[in-house]
Structure 1
C-alpha cells in the first residue's frame, strides 16, 4: 500500500477534482452530483435489479423491447448486499462500489506499470486513466470501475504466474460485463503461448494453468446460460442484446454512422471520427512496438474490437473503451522518461480537460 500510495493519491485527487467541477457546473437541484452519478441511464437499471430482481421490461414506441436481462448481475448483487446492511439506497450503494473498485483498479494499473516499466510509469498510468475524457464514468454507479479492477488484477496475476487467481478474477469480470470475454481471452491465449513455448514440459505440470483457463469464462458463461434458461432460448442473451441495438456486427453500423456524417450535413464530424479511429489504431501499433506482454496485448485488442465492432449507440463507444487501460501504457512510459515540466503540462491539461468534458457530458447527453 505504501509503495502504491502516490498512484492512489494521485488517482483520488483527479477523481475528486472532476466531481467538484461537476457539482459546480450546474447547481440545479435536478442535476445534483449524487443524482447525476447514481440515477441516470444504466445506473437506473442496475438499481432496479438490485431492488426488484430481474423483472423490468420497457416497451418502446417503435415496438422495441428493452429487458433488464441485458445487464450482468454482479453490481446489482453488491448494491443489494450493501443496501441490506446500511441505510444507502441501491444507487448510493453503487457509488460506494464504484469508489472502492476504482481505487482497486488504479492500484492494479499501478502494479502492472510498476512491474513492467518502473514506479513512475505505474503512477502515471493510474493518473492518466483517471484523466481520460470519459473518466467521470469511473465515479458513476456503472460497472466500468468494477470490471477494470477485476481485469487489471487478473492480468497482473497472469504476469506473475498466478493462474488460479487470474482465472477466478476473470470469472468475476465475466459476471460484471459482457466484455469479460476479453479477460478470458487473455488468459486462454497466454496459456496457449506458454504451452507452445514449453512443449517439452508434460501437461500435468500445467495443472494450475489449465484450471485457470477453465475458470476464466465461467462468470460470463454462467450468466448467459441462466438467461437462456430464463428466456427458453439457447441464444436468449444475444436476442436481448439485439433488441437493445447492441449486437456484434463487425463494425458495419459504426462505419455506416461515419459515412452518414461524411456525406451528410456534418462532414467535419465524419473526418473527426476517422481521425479518432486512426489515432486508436496508431496507439495499438505503439503498444506492439513497446512489446507489451501477451496478456495486455490480447486484452487491449479484444476491448478495441468489442467497442468498435458493436452495433450499439455511438455515444457508448468511448465508455466501452474506458477499461482498455493498456492503450495508455505508451503515454505513461513516454511521460515517465520526460522532464517534470512536460509531465506537469501534459497531465495537468488532461485533468482539466477531463473535468470540463465530464461535466459537460454528464449534464448534457451523457453516457448511454
Structure 2
C-alpha cells in the first residue's frame, strides 16, 4: 500500500517542472524564430528616429520632447500626474476637452514604470511605448508565421515598421500598446486559446477607444465556433482546446475592458450608457458615416496645400484596397472582423482627419496580402521596395513631428 502511494507521489512530482520547462523552451524557440524580424524592425525604427533627431537638432528642438511630450502625450502626462478630472475649454465653439476621453491602461503602465524605475513621465512613457512596440512586432510576426510562414511573417513586421506614419510607434502614444494586445489576442484565437484571447481583448479595450475592434473579433470568432459546435454536436471539437467552458469564457471576457471603462465614464457624467460619447462629442469626435472625411477630401481637391492631407487620402484608400485583398485571400474571420471595425471607426468618424492613418496603425492584418506577395518575389525586388518605403517613412515621420501643424 505504501509502495503504491509512493509510486503515485513520485510520478506526480516532476510534472510541473516539465510543464514549466516546456513552456520556457517554446517561448524561447518562438523568440529565436522572430529574432531576425525584430532586428529588422528595430533597424527600421532606429533609422527613422535618427533621421528625425538630426532634423530636430537642426531646428533647435529636442527629439525626446517631440516623441514624448507633444499632442496627446501631454494629456496622458496629466492623467499620470493628477489622475482624471482635467477639463480644458477648446478654441472652437462647443469644444470642451476632458481627459476622460483617454483610456486608462497606458497611464497606469506609465505610472507603474515611474514608481519602479524612478523615471520622469517622458522617459517612462517612451519606455512603455517602445516595449509595447517590440511586443507588437513579435505578436505580428507570430500571426504572420502561423498563416503564411516565416519569410512572409518577417516581411509583415518590416512593412508595419516602415509605414509612412510609423513614427507614431515610437511616440508616447497608445497605438503600439493596442497593437501588441490585438496581435497576441488574434494569435490566441487562431491557436484556440480562448481565455488568453479574452483576457488580451480586455487589455485592448482598456487601451484605446478603437480597442473595441479586438473584443468584436474575439467574441464573433467565439460565437462562430459555438455555432460550429452546435451543428457538429461534438463537445470535443479539436481546435477548441478545453471545450465549451473556455470558449464561453473568452467570448464573455473580451468586451469587459472597453465596456467597463465606457460605463465608468458614463457614470461620472451622469449617464452610464451615453456619458462617454458625450465626452467624445465635446472633443468634436463622433461617428458621422464619413461625412467629415468626405468634406476634408473635397477641401484637398479644391486647393488645400497641407502635405498631410494627400497622404491621409492615400493611406485611407490603400487601406480599403488592402481590406478587399484580405477578403479575396479568405483571411480568417477574426482578422477580417478586427480590420473591418477599425476601418469603420477610422473612416466613419468625424474630425481629426489627419489622425486617421494613426487610427489605422493597429490594423496590421491589412498588410498580410502584400507580405505574402513579397515573400514570393525576388530578393532584389523586396530590397528596393522596402528601401523606398523606409525612405518615405523617415521623411514623412520627420515632417509630422517637426513641420506639420496638425496632430499625427
TM-score, normalisation: structure 2: 0.86
Q: Which residue of 1 aligns with 2:335?
A: 296
Match of 2:253 in 1: 215
User: Using a 3 Å threshold, how does the CA distance of structure 1 residues 277 and 107 change in structure 2: closer, same or farther?
Assistant: closer
Matched residue, 2:391: 352
Q: How many residue pairs are counted as aligned between the two chains?
A: 367
Greater C-alpha radius of gyration:
2
Distance across 1 between alignment mates of 2:91 and 2:193: 50
Within the alignment, does 1:265 sit opposite 2:295 as a pair? Answer: no
Task: State how far apart, in whole Å, the 2-side matches of 1:200 and 1:159 are.
Answer: 20
User: Are 1:59 and 2:89 counterparts?
Assistant: yes
Q: Does 2:186 align with 1:186?
A: no
Give the direction of change, closer, same or farther, for the CA distance of 1:342–1:298 in structure 2 (3 Å limit).
Answer: same
Residue 62 (structure 2) pairs with residue 32 (structure 1): yes
Q: Is the 8 A contact 2:133 2:177 kept in 1?
A: yes
* 1:272-322, Cα deviation, whole Å (9 max, x unpaired): 876654433221111112121111111111111111001121111011011
2:158 is equivalent to residue 119 of structure 1:
no
Compared CA separation, residues 227 and 202, structure 1 to 2 (3 A): farther
Is the aligned partner of 1:318 residue 2:318?
A: no
**Aligned position for 2:285:** 246
* 1:211-236: CA deviation from partner (whole Å, max 9, x where unpaired): 10111011111111111121112211
Cα distance in 2 for residues equivalent to 1:271 and 1:238 = 29
Is 1:339 equivalent to 2:369 in the alignment? no
Once the 2 structures are TM-superposed, how far is the Cα of residue 28 of structure 1 from its aligned partner?
5.1
Instruction: Map 1:278-297 onto structure 2 (within 5 A).
Output: 278-297=317-336
Normalising by structure 1, what TM-score? 0.95
Q: Which residue of 2 aligns with 1:231?
A: 269
Contact kept, 8 Å, 1:79 with 1:91, in 2: the verdict is no
Please list every run of 5 or more consecutive structure 1 residues that lacks an aligned counterpart in the other structure: none
Once the 2 structures are TM-superposed, how far is the Cα of residue 200 of structure 1 from its aligned partner?
Answer: 3.0
| Distance in 2 (alpha carbons) for counterparts of 1:29 and 1:48 | 27
Instruction: Point out where structure 2 has 5 or more consecutive residues left out of the alignment.
Output: 1-30, 237-242
Task: Give the C-alpha shift of residue 195 in structure 1.
Answer: 2.3
- Structure 1 residues 202 and 176: alpha-carbon distance in aligned structure 2, compared to 1, 3 A threshold: same
Contact 1:182–1:302, Cα closer than 8 Å, also in 2: yes
Distance in 1 (CA, whole Å) between partners of 2:201 and 2:90 is: 35
The reply to whether residue 367 of structure 1 matches residue 367 of structure 2 is: no
Deviation larger for 116-125 or 86-95: 86-95
RMSD of aligned residue pairs (Cα, Å): 2.0
Contact residue 316 and residue 357 of structure 2 kept, 8 A: no
What is the CA-CA distance between 1:210 and the residue it aligns to? 1.1
| 1:250 match: secondary structure | coil
Distance 1:29 1:350, change over 3 A: closer
Please give the alpha-carbon distance, in whole angstroms, between the structure 2 residues aligned to 1:215 and 1:268.
43
Residue of structure 2 equivalent to 1:73: 104
Q: Per-residue displacement from partner, 1:123-164 (whole Å, max 9, x unpaired)?
A: 111111000000000000000001100000000000000000
Query: Which runs of structure 2 are paired with 1:86-125 in the superposition (5 Å)?
Result: 86-125=117-156
Contact 1:319 1:367 in 2 (8 A): no
Shift of 1:31: 2.2
Q: 1:330 to 1:194 in 2, by over 3 A?
A: same
- CA change 1:151–1:268 in 2 (3 A) is closer
Q: Is contact 2:312-2:353 (8 Å) kept?
A: no
